[in-house]
Chains A and B, each alone.
Chain A
Amino acid sequence: MLSSFGITVSTISLLLSLSLLYLSYYDLKLSNNKISKKIYKFAFSQILFTFLSFITLIIAYVISDFSLINVYENSHTTKPLFYKISGAWGNHEGSLLLWINILVLFSFLFLILNKDKNKNFKLYTIIFQNLLISSFLIFLLTNSNPFSLLYPTPTEGMGLNPILQDPALAIHPPLLYLGFVGSSIYFSIALAALITKVDSKSLALTIKPWVSVSWTFQTLGILVGSIWAYYELGWGGFWFWDPVENSSLMPWFLMTALLHSVLVLERRIGLYSWVIILSILTFTMSVVGTFLVRSGILNSVHTFANDPSRGLFILSFLALMVFSSIFIFFKHAPVENKNYKIFSKESFILINNWFMVFFLAVVLIGTLYPVFLDTLTGQKISVGPPYYNFILAPFLLPLLFLMTSGPKHKWISSNVIGIFNIALFTSIILFFLIFLSIKEGGLLLLLILLFSMYLITQTTFDFYETFKNKNINLSRIISHFGFGLLILSISLNQIFSVEKSFNVRLGDEKNFQNYTIKFNNLETFSKNNFKSVKGHFEIIDKKKITSQNLTPEIRVYNKPETITYEASINTKLFSDTYLTMSNISNTDVFNIKFQKKPFMNFIWFSVLLISFGGILQFSRFEKRA
């Protein structure tokens, strides 16, 4: 029942999308100033039916309707309600439906929130957005239908992979999609602006809120994904430079570049073409990421079930999108005003863009190079964290420095502000205080520490100035402060991390550095969907004379059959203690891995701060509008 209902509703929303295309195209030729009422009505029904299809899928999950293949393959009656709901977007088909919902949501919001904009500009945006929507709906209905019927109806489902049953992972896809699928709207706006020759100021004002919103969600989405990896995967890391993670980072770099260059476009006429190129590239990178994740051409930690026919569809779509955007761009390329002068602040923003595009290029090359090499020559190589760290880390130094000094420059001709100011002085003192407690760490890492501290102190001083001067951009200060804190915490985390693994038997006691680990007890128990072996360990810090109990687990889930290693993490303000355990086959020996992970909370907090800046930016815009 739900199957045919879902298919009907999705088909209706495809038809509505196609009608919107027709209506908008027809409306372009009419001479009235306002968009016809019909389009609003259709757009409203479109969002209604698209939401309805998504809700249908969620209901199917909640009531465990196994007549849907998708529900059968990814759910189970014994699963908690929360994970039944989140299971709806924890797989390819369901998440594609979420993708489409966000495309439609942004299209609708654009239509109703920009009432007084140029009519044709709006209509073209709606046309491009609906081209995207209908393509993805066709993909959904023909290739990846979440409502496909299964007959005869099984009585029980196959269950959701236990590592996906995690609150962080439940909200991760919606956040991330609001980010990078949200970028579709400025892709459409940019193309529409090219065709209708909208002036730079209104282009800037139109895309700015969308850029801030999508950037904020993208940042939050990446954060939640990292948190999940840290707590659930049990490897003690939070970023692995895995192709799937890279796919979420690539659009982020471009959004960040866009967020900065829009500031220029808003005040002055420069950078018009550049902003358009960035807008097109951002969504292109989002689709590239989607292609990489779902086509299965990459070996990744986070596997989606793969199917080449999906890859083929997304690739064809991507090709069509890229070729037509290039064509439109060159056909309607705006004539840049040659007579405008770049001021110092603009130079800094362009330098920011230079770095962001560079970071994007590195991540893109690192991710795709093995695929290209394999396809062209048959040689297989791996590119991993050492590559990214080696190439990217040195460039953090100038980036941090520019983030500190760049924003101090005025829009119109500025005096160079003294480099040796009070902030730098303070940060050097702070740096030496930290340096005294560090006995190791390379020169580069130490310099990164120093520069991030400079950024932190400078932005702190700036923050105090905002009380005196209301014109200072608070969102910039908070985001930059957050970034400084992020780099500082990651560096300190690198320097002070402790890692040690042992082979132990029950009752063993191991000593190393200042710690003693006792293997006190081993407990086996079973819950309704898994069996567990739980180790009880006591960790004694001899220096601080404290002790803590940690209980890592090995779980064997039965639906589907999976072994997971549950880390036991004791989170303190400054440092986490992280313990994992695995058994060595056919023996009573366990391999345990002890890790001290300092400043993890600071890492999460600083990313929150970064995204908070984005929220402030948005509210600032709202006030002005």
Chain B
Amino acid sequence: MKKKYLVIIYSIAIFVFVVLYLSLNKNNVYTTQENIGKKISVIQLDYFDKPGEFNIQEISNFNFTLLNFWASWCGPCRKEHKYLVELSSNSNLKIIGVNFKDDKKNAMEFLKEMGNPFFILTKDPEGKKSVNFGIYGIPETILINKDLKILKKYVGPLSTKDVREIQRIVKK
């Protein structure tokens, strides 16, 4: 009887310690990776420098779309911009920019200085529409296919590795 209890208690304790040990090496920074595989919502985005709205459903005309949320005030956006310019030369991929909570003049200056990789440029001055894409801080970049399904979600600035990954997926 005593032995049975001992075995039960020891096994529970070992289980708890193993899980806690495994949890030590886990990264606990939360990112919205759960969105991968989901379809994007039906949203109308305002054009950046002309009246009217862009219906996000229209991207089903393109093979692949990269949706990039950026702003001129965001330091990391500046860092990743050269990668966007690099990717914009890929004919299989269209980059759509969403200018996030930004001042129009500053944003235009930013593009003038760094280059404009965006096939279509829209804006979200209050940041509320971006909520529909699960955006919680910029830069964030979403790779979407023809069926409007999210293939990849990058939180934070793109890296060389991310760019290679995007190119690999898009080539297929």
Report if A312 contacts B (CB, 8 A): yes
In the complex, the answer to whether B19 meets A372 with C-beta atoms within 8 Å is yes
Closest Cβ–Cβ distance, residue B104 to chain A (whole Å):
12
Report if A385 contacts B (CB, 8 A): no
Other-chain contact of A326, B6, B20, B73 (Cβ < 8 Å): B6
Report if B25 contacts A (CB, 8 A): yes
- Contacts known (A299-B28, A372-B19); A323 close to B13, Cβ less than 8 A: yes
In the complex, the answer to whether B24 meets A380 with C-beta atoms within 8 Å is no
Complex Cα gap A424–B30 (Å): 51
Complex Cα gap A5–B103 (Å): 57
By a CB distance below 8 angstroms, the chain B residues around A298 are 28
**B4-24: contact bitstring with A at CB < 8 Å (1 yes, 0 no)?**
011001100100010111111
By a CB distance below 8 angstroms, the chain A residues around B103 are 586
Q: Which of A289-297, A443-451, A484-492 is the contact stretch?
A: A289-297
Complex Cα gap A586–B101 (Å): 9
In the complex, the answer to whether B20 meets A291 with C-beta atoms within 8 Å is yes
Complex Cα gap A380–B26 (Å): 12
Number of interface residues of B (CB under 8 A): 21
In the complex, the answer to whether B6 meets A330 with C-beta atoms within 8 Å is yes
- Contacts known (A330-B2, A585-B101); A297 close to B26, Cβ less than 8 A: yes
- Contacts known (A299-B30, A372-B19, A376-B19); A312 close to B13, Cβ less than 8 A: no
Closest Cβ–Cβ distance, residue B117 to chain A (whole Å):
24
Complex Cα gap A142–B55 (Å): 60
Other-chain contact of B10, A299, A326, A371 (Cβ < 8 Å): A326
Interface SS, A side: helix
Number of interface residues of A (CB under 8 A): 25
By a CB distance below 8 angstroms, the chain A residues around B26 are 297, 374-375
Nearest opposing residue in chain A for B125, CB measure: A586
Other-chain contact of B23, A374, A380, A585, A586 (Cβ < 8 Å): A374
Report if A315 contacts B (CB, 8 A): yes
**A80-100: contact bitstring with B at CB < 8 Å (1 yes, 0 no)?**
000000000000000000000
Other-chain contact of A312, B9, B24, B73, B101 (Cβ < 8 Å): B24
Complex Cα gap A18–B28 (Å): 38
In the complex, the answer to whether B2 meets A333 with C-beta atoms within 8 Å is yes
By a CB distance below 8 angstroms, the chain B residues around A295 are 24
Report if A560 contacts B (CB, 8 A): no
Complex Cα gap A375–B26 (Å): 8
By a CB distance below 8 angstroms, the chain B residues around A297 are 20, 23-24, 26, 28
Complex Cα gap A311–B9 (Å): 23
In the complex, the answer to whether B2 meets A375 with C-beta atoms within 8 Å is no
Report if A237 contacts B (CB, 8 A): no
Nearest opposing residue in chain A for B25, CB measure: A308
By a CB distance below 8 angstroms, the chain B residues around A311 are 24
Complex Cα gap A136–B102 (Å): 52
Nearest opposing residue in chain B for A308, CB measure: B24
Nearest opposing residue in chain A for B9, CB measure: A326
Within 8 A of B (CB), among A273-305: 291, 295-299
Nearest opposing residue in chain A for B5, CB measure: A330
**A311-335: contact bitstring with B at CB < 8 Å (1 yes, 0 no)?**
1100100110011001000100100
Contacts A296-B28, A326-B13 known; 12 new A-B pairs at CB < 8 A: A295-B24, A297-B28, A299-B28, A311-B24, A315-B21, A318-B17, A323-B13, A371-B19, A371-B23, A372-B19, A375-B26, A585-B101
Binding site for A on B (CB under 8 A): 2, 5-6, 9-10, 13, 17, 19-26, 28, 30, 34, 73, 101, 103
- A–B complex contacts, Cβ < 8 Å, 18 sampled: A291-B20, A295-B24, A297-B20, A299-B28, A308-B24, A315-B17, A315-B20, A315-B24, A322-B13, A322-B17, A326-B10, A326-B13, A330-B2, A330-B5, A371-B19, A380-B34, A585-B101, A586-B73
